[in-house]
Amino acid sequence: MRGLDRREYGLPDSVWEAFRAIASRLAPYALLLFAGCAIPMVPYRAVYEDPVNFVRLEVDYSVLPEWPPSAHAHPKAMRAEDVARILGGISVKEDRIWLQKWLQGEAPLMPAFRPEEIALLSQQIAEAFALARPDERVTFYLSQPQTSVKRIITSGGIYLHGTELHFILGNWQVPYGIPTYGMIYDRRYPMRPTAAKGFYLFFDPGEATIAQQHSLWDTLLANTNDELVIDLTKTVFGPIASLAGR
């Protein structure tokens, strides 16, 4: 495309200079706009993937090279049966408003994973922990196809930090309609919710759960109920206590 020529449009010098000044000021913002519209790529290493499920290792940008304490306790050897016990101890409770509680009562605790999901994830997450770098976290994605354009998804992430296991549930049995155009977010961002989160997470034994401090911003964004921090030295699984230290 050829450049604009002020003589072609008969613009006075003063108007032309004003136009150039405005254009030069807006140019950086235009670049930012185009950059923001670009589809971001999330780097990952596949540990397991089939047509509907996956377990991956993704870079955790909260780990700062200049601050060693932010690094995770990976790689780490962990038995699949211990991972299965942890996943089996996680429950989900639906968040009901007062009217729902009045009509239906309190929501029951539901297992976060079905037995076949635990069987799949425990083996692959154990393998992922053994391969993960200190700046990576494990992400998982489970899908139940309903139609050619609809599926039920459960997804999230998990990582080890010292003797603490952090478990984040991004989606739990959420219906997801595949868009006819645009980005498919559920597989690209397994830790991000595709709908408003309406659940609480619990772990058995409860005494192994570490209470977290949340900012006002987290509360406003409803990010206070989707993460469990489990002290592995307080679980009933003896071999896991050996995870103390890196």
The β-bridge partners of 102 are none
Q: How far apart are CA 193 and CA 170, in angstroms?
A: 5
Instruction: Evaluate whether 47 touches 128 at the Cβ level (below 8 Å).
Output: yes
How would you write the pLDDT of the chain (246 residues) with one tens digit per residue? Answer: 444 444 444 555 554 455 554 554 444 444 344 444 444 667 889 999 999 999 999 999 989 989 989 999 999 999 999 999 999 999 998 775 656 666 666 667 899 999 999 999 999 999 999 999 999 999 999 999 998 889 999 999 999 999 999 999 999 999 998 877 766 778 888 988 887 777 889 999 889 889 876 555 455 444 556 789 999 988 855 545 455 444
Q: Are strands 54-59 and 136-147 parallel, antiparallel or unpaired?
A: antiparallel
Domains of the chain, residue spans: 6-37, 44-243
The whole-model pTM stands at 0.75
Give me 11's structure tokens: 């613009």
